[in-house]
A = this chain, B = another copy of it.
């Protein structure tokens, strides 16, 4: 038996990324901020990375996955709410009108979901989402929704963490929804998830202290709300941010635009461009869900790295069942 020395450095930390300028830019950025002799060296506790979720870490077509959860909940509750038949986005939800629902945007869908859970304890909500994630399946692929995460992005999360980055999710989706699966699926603990946030209040129910959702919205963590969510939860600027739509534009600006001449810290903004209609979905400027238009135009001038899913990713989803 020959015991060959294991060279971790020689192992490719991003095996699902094809060699090319995209992968090279990521590796080069990480080297710059982690090498102690580098002019761009960043202390480990300042290595903050933020990732959008829908369309960046998992799919979002033909509808945000959380909207499918909302659809199921709204249908469950519809008998007690005859007024919903007349009101959007409830009307589209009850009609199963995916196109109509997509046209409403993420905000109204999350608001509908938050309102539907008024007076529900956070624990009951978590159980409900966990049950749904374990059973509901995507209408096109037949996979569990949590099996539609992007393998190359899972590797990127792990690669950054291995280089002492602290990784956060910063999503327009609901914070309480994402937290149910973020640790198991992404390795991101609940306290590192930022998202659209409903109000909550504390009460004693039969002597048991609980936090109850109140049905209003405290933060819409999308577009200009993302830097606000980052400030609220993290309290400092990331040095790396990844997104896939115009909803990430302000987060990318906040992360990468230098404050002044002394602000020379290396920073990287990354945009996942959905170019692969065969392995995933192909969409950008015209899509109601995950529209990527202005941010795509701005990318070259801002130096944001545009990842072409079709060209840059060896595979999209993990091996089924993993």
Contacts and interface: CB of A to CB of B under 8 A. Distances in A.
Interface of A: 45, 48, 122-123, 166, 168, 175-176, 179, 183, 189-193, 197, 200-204, 207-209, 211, 218-219, 224-228, 230-236, 250, 253-254, 257, 259-260
For A122, A176, A225, A260, which residue has the most chain B Cβ atoms within 10 angstroms? A122
A200 B232 contact: yes
For A48, A228, A253, which residue has the most chain B Cβ atoms within 10 angstroms? A228
Contacts of A207: 257
A254 B207 CA distance: 11
Contacts of A123: 259
Contact of A202 (B122, B193, B254): B254
Nearest to A257: B209
A243 to B, nearest CB: 14
Q: 5 tightest A-B contacts by CB?
A: A190-B235, A202-B224, A202-B227, A209-B253, A211-B231
Nearest to A123: B259
A157 to B, nearest CB: 16
A191 B267 CA distance: 19
B209 A45 contact: no
A260 B207 CA distance: 11
A218 B209 CA distance: 22
A227 B219 CA distance: 18
A273 B213 CA distance: 33
B253 A204 contact: yes
Contacts of A236: 190-191
A233 B191 contact: yes
A183 B260 CA distance: 25
A42 to B, nearest CB: 14
B231 A122 contact: yes
A209 B234 contact: no
A226 B230 CA distance: 20
B208 A259 contact: yes
A226 B209 CA distance: 12
A226 to B, nearest CB: 8
Contacts of A259: 123, 208
A225 B201 CA distance: 7
A227 B48 CA distance: 26
A262 to B, nearest CB: 13
Nearest to A192: B191
Contacts of A224: 201-203
A190 to B, nearest CB: 3
Contacts of A189: 45
22 contacts: A45-B189, A48-B191, A122-B231, A190-B234, A191-B192, A191-B233, A193-B235, A200-B228, A200-B231, A200-B232, A201-B228, A202-B227, A202-B228, A202-B254, A204-B253, A208-B257, A209-B227, A209-B250, A211-B227, A211-B228, A211-B231, A218-B218
